[in-house]
């Protein structure tokens, strides 16, 4: 369970960085916890940086997470590790490096005394499952995240599974974006609200 004394860090890429804006998922979580627990509740920090992949998180782990004396860290990464395979001038992360990187981050955080929750990457495109170009590859990376969480004995918040389920029911026109994202990747207000609700429910009921 979430503790009043927790120092919670959200660690990720641009989705998390933007999550600190008004209406962003990190802001919504912070506001909900403050409304319920007041000034004596957990402190919430944002450690998201645009363009980051798992290797970038490793490089700034001490500076941006451990230095904050974090007691609970939610890792939300993986989109760029897959998406960047198709973006000109960028490179993705091979599966072995991705899994090994997640394990290294988790091990370092646990050694520093923090509890860790790993989130699966959400979506790259919102069309019917299987019709977005990177659906199958993203599935593989989500499964790597699930396996790493299980092997390391930490909590898994399966955002990927939740997003796919939501889109089945809420995208009858089979649009590429605009349901939970602004561009197939970055969250719109509905997406931010959904992520905040999923994580808050997870924090309340599953750790």
pLDDT in tens, 24-61: 999 999 999 988 766 678 999 999 999 999 999 999 99
The distance from CA 124 to its chain's CA centroid, rounded to whole angstroms, is 13
Which of the listed ranges 32-36, 76-80, 85-89 does the model predict with the highest average pLDDT?
A: 76-80
Give the SS3 label for residue 118.
strand
Note the pTM of the prediction, 2 decimals.
Answer: 0.96
At residue 31's C-alpha, the angle toward residues 166 and 107, to 5°, is 70
Q: Which of 158, 144, 140, 143 is nearest to 194 (CA)?
A: 158
7-121+134-158+188-205: which CATH topology?
Rossmann fold (3.40.50)
């Amino acid at each position: 369970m979430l503790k009043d004394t927790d120092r919670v860090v959200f660690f990720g890429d641009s989705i998390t960085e933007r999550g600190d804006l008004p209406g962003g998922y990190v802001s919504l979580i912070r506001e909900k916890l403050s409304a319920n627990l007041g000034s004596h509740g957990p402190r919430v920090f944002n450690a998201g940086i645009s363009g980051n992949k798992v290797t970038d998180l490793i490089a700034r782990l001490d500076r941006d997470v451990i230095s904050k004396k974090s007691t609970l860290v939610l890792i939300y990464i993986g989109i760029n590790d897959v998406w960047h395979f198709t973006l000109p001038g960028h490179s993705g992360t091979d599966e072995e490096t991705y899994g090994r990187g997640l394990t290294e981050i988790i091990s370092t955080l646990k050694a520093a005394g923090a509890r860790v929750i790993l989130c699966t990457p959400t979506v790259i495109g919102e069309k019917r499952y299987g019709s977005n170009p990177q659906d199958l590859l993203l599935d593989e990376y989500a499964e790597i995240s699930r396996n790493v969480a299980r092997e390391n004995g930490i909590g898994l918040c399966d955002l990927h599974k939740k997003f796919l389920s939501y889109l089945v029911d809420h995208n009858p026109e089979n649009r590429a974006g605009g349901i939970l994202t602004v561009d197939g990747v970055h969250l719109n207000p509905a997406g931010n609200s959904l992520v905040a609700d999923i994580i808050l429910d997870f924090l309340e009921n599953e750790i």
